[in-house]
Amino acid sequence: MTKFKNYTLPSLFEATLNNFADCDAMTFVGEKPITYKELGIKINSLAYFLKELGIKKDDKVAILSANMPHWGISYFAISFIGAVVVPILPDFHETEIENVLKHSEAKAIFVSENLMTKVNQTSSKFLKHQIKIEDFTLLKENGVFYKEKEYEPIAHVAKENDLLTIIYTSGTTGNSKGVMLTHKNIVYNAVQAFSVQNVSTKDRFLSILPLSHTYENTLGLVLPIMGGSCVYYLSKPPTPTVLLPALTEVRPTIMLSVPLILEKIYRNKIAKTFTKNALIKGLYAIPVIRKKLNAIAGKKLFESFGGEIKFFGVGGAKLDKTVEKFLIEAKFPYAIGYGLTETSPLLSGVNADNTKLQATGPAVMDVQLKINNPDPVTGEGEVWAKGPNIMQGYYKEPELTKQVLSEDGWFKTGDLGTFDKDGYLFLRGRLKNMIVGQSGENIYPEEIESVINNFRHVVESVVVQQKGKLVAMVHFNREEIEERYKHLKKDVTNYIDHKHEELRVELQAYVNSRVNKFSQVQLVVVQIEPFIKTATLKIKRFLYA
């Protein structure tokens, strides 16, 4: 791995330019990649443009855009002048965006054309400039224009402990918080990720998660740039009709994903194949035959991802156990990682050669993990972390920061876990989600949901406690049910409602026969609309508790 002068984004890019100037850097799928030399010219030109607009060190500059090469160019250009990047998730509501712009005191924003309506009416007194990210033109001209040319390299003023970014999390437990991450936090975490999985000029990344989330930002942008890899972006949302041709064209070697994507592929394609009739279902229940069938399905899955994938990173939430068992038997090169926005994000992880069922791997290089106040019997407790990638705190929230950062630098993750003898971390669920049963038992809703989600026609679920009872809120796949029963000469809508009732009763019996006594659900409620989710496709549980 290349050494840099210091752990800052400009220093990292300088090292990349020195080593990989003529290598492909990034592009949209279907277009010719620009080289790192060309990327450097664009970043440097944009940095000069920002300075001409009066943006200076420590000023805040927001980015509200779908993934594209200009997203990364904007990110690096802001860092080159020592300003602070404020990435905003594209699916944030206008009110949330307004709050972020005001709270961060952003002086400028890069915004994509399709999202301009979300900031047109902003009343933020701090915001001076709106820049169209597709071509870097000002929405209100003032005589300053972006000019792409080979300027003298701009003087890099950022230091390792300077603030690089404030990331406002949508979170699953409440209001957004501004996570303050320094240059060293991000760059060092990319180095830590490199120690888990080497990347090089031979690697092709296909980016499908939002760059405004720290998972894709650090591991899907900073890491490949550090290694001289090429990143490909989709010009449309990653629906199957967009993604499948892209996979065939790019043949990525590395991808980052969230569990829901693999879980959908497994349930909608693979599981259905092995349960379509009684004979195949019976054969699939025999372990020796199941493993052979999974190996065949795994080869097809591998080919569908382009046939050259070597690292399919899964993070952002816990991967369903049934799905992970399939991936292991299918010999699909998945890899698990664990972290949070507050940790830049990676805390623990392994590459595809060292996975363990339901484990997130050991702590990454130079990170300490411990279980605080472990249960004397189970060894379970809250995971605490310490290392060079831990955030500085929450922006303008000193009291909130004190709640999660101990005086001696330990970050309280809010996740419950245990370690095995090899130091691999196993997570049980979020501390805030844990339900205490009537006799004091610890009930983990995520584990019950894992059982529910493997029942036929279930898309997703949330288990909550209401008036002392465990209630499962379940979203069924209405289209799937309609397709299966469309031959019936009945009013489809009325029949679906009737089928929901049947499934609700059957599901309760199914779940309660597969969980311990105190985790049994007393009520199943049909959730008609899909659950509202975060950027990493985790359900915003606090909305349903």
CATH number of residue 153's parent domain: 3.40.50.980
Considering the domain architecture, whether residues 413 and 449 belong to the same structural domain is answered as: no
For residue 266, the tally of other CB atoms under 10 A from its CB is: 21
Among the listed residues 43, 41, 44, 22, the one whose alpha carbon sits nearest the alpha carbon of residue 33: 22
Domain co-membership, 112 together with 23:
yes
Same domain, 164 and 17: yes
CA distance 320 to 323: 5
Same domain, 462 and 409: no
> Could you tell me if residue 236 is inside a domain?
no
Single-letter residue type at 460? E
Residue 368 forms part of a structural domain: yes
Instruction: Check whether residue 297 and residue 393 sit in a common domain.
Output: yes
* Domain-ending residue, one of 388, 413, 430: 430
What is the full per-residue pLDDT of the chain (545 aa) written as tens digits?
668 889 999 999 999 999 999 999 999 999 999 999 999 999 999 999 999 999 999 999 999 999 999 999 999 999 999 999 999 999 888 888 999 999 999 999 999 999 999 998 888 999 999 999 999 999 988 889 999 999 999 999 999 999 999 999 854 444 668 999 999 999 999 999 999 999 999 999 999 999 999 999 999 999 999 999 999 999 999 988 999 999 999 999 999 999 988 998 998 889 888 888 889 889 999 999 999 999 999 999 999 999 999 999 999 888 999 999 999 999 999 999 999 999 999 999 999 999 999 999 999 999 999 999 999 989 999 999 999 999 999 999 999 999 999 999 999 999 999 999 999 999 998 888 888 776 677 888 988 998 999 998 899 999 999 888 899 999 998 888 777 766 655 565 666 777 888 899 999 999 999 988 888 999 999 999 999 988 778 888 888 87
- 382 shares its domain with 489: no
Number of independent structural domains in the chain: 3
Specify whether 423 is located in the same domain as 442. Answer: no
**Other CB atoms closer than 10 Å to residue 164's CB: what's the count?**
26
Domain boundary among the residues 382, 400, 430 is at 430
Last residue of a domain, one of 138, 156, 182: 182
Tell me whether strands 108-111 and 60-64 are parallel, antiparallel or unpaired. parallel
Secondary structure (3-state) at 138: strand
Contacts of residue 163, Cβ cutoff 8 Å, sequence gap at least 6: 58, 84, 180, 181, 182, 392
- What's the rounded Cα separation, in Å, for the pair 92 and 250? 30
Give a yes or no: residue 91 inside a domain: yes
Question: Can you point out the beta strands (E) in 365-452?
Answer: 368-372, 381-386, 393-394, 411-419, 425-430, 435-436, 442-443
